[in-house]
Structure 1
Amino acid sequence: MGWMFVGAAALFEVIGAVGLNLYSKKKTWMNLLMYGGGFGLSFFLLYQSFGYLQLSIAYAVWVGLGTAGAVLLNMLLFGEPRNLQRLLSLFVILAGVVGLKMVS
């Protein structure tokens, strides 16, 4: 159950990051809701995961998945640069997340 909370929290963190990008460009209520709601739900779900998982593991996985997801979506949706160094860095982040999941 804890991993489901962390996965959902990471998803909402990505939604919040996309909302933040959109809100910084165009200040609408929908973008603000995406930004604030995404991050708010993300923190709530992460907090719920602490009842099942160690804080250090849950937090690290949440940060890693959220970061990787936000970078990928910004590359796809907003035209951020796609180069070998960025993609290799994402791979390293995801490998670390998988490693933490396997040892916990």
Structure 2
Amino acid sequence: MAWFYLFLASFGEIFGMMTINLYLRDKKWWRLIPVILTFGFGFLFLSLAMRDLPMGTAYAIWTGFGAAGAVLIGILFFHEPAGWKRLLFITLIIAGAAGLKLFG
């Protein structure tokens, strides 16, 4: 169940970054509410995952998937560049997270 919580926590990180980007495009105070909610969601599930997973492993996977997901959201929805080098390094981040699960 801890890995499922960590998976959900990663979505909090990904969508938290997306809501920050939306806030920066249109700085209205009410756009901060989704930022707080999505990051709060992520922290809640990260704390639940850390009950059973080592802190270093949980944090590395959470930030890795969050970073990779944020890059993909940027490419898909915010028209950021998607060169092969960026995609290669996203793949390496995900491979590193998978390695921590397999060998950690």
Residues in 1 aligned to 2:14 and 2:34: alpha-carbon distance in whole angstroms: 10
Q: Which amino acid aligns with 1:58?
A: A
Per-residue deviation, residues 55-96 of structure 1 (Å, max 9, x unmatched): 111110001111000000011100111101101110110110
Are positions 1:85 and 2:82 aligned together? no
Q: Matches of residues 12-51 of structure 1 in structure 2 within 5 Å? A: 12-28=12-28, 29=30, 31-51=31-51
Shift of 1:34: 2.0
CA RMSD of aligned residues (A): 1.0
Shift of 1:27: 2.5
Residues in 1 aligned to 2:26 and 2:32: alpha-carbon distance in whole angstroms: 9
SS, match of residue 82 in structure 2: coil
Note the residue ranges of structure 1 that are not aligned, 5 or more in a row: none
Are positions 1:9 and 2:9 aligned together? yes
Residues in 2 aligned to 1:37 and 1:26: alpha-carbon distance in whole angstroms: 18
Residues in 1 aligned to 2:9 and 2:18: alpha-carbon distance in whole angstroms: 14
Shift of 1:4: 1.0
Residues in 2 aligned to 1:101 and 1:80: alpha-carbon distance in whole angstroms: 30
TM-score when normalising by structure 1: 0.93
TM-score when normalising by structure 2: 0.93
Q: Which amino acid aligns with 1:101?
A: K
Shift of 1:43: 1.2
Residues in 1 aligned to 2:12 and 2:39: alpha-carbon distance in whole angstroms: 6
Note the residue ranges of structure 2 that are not aligned, 5 or more in a row: none
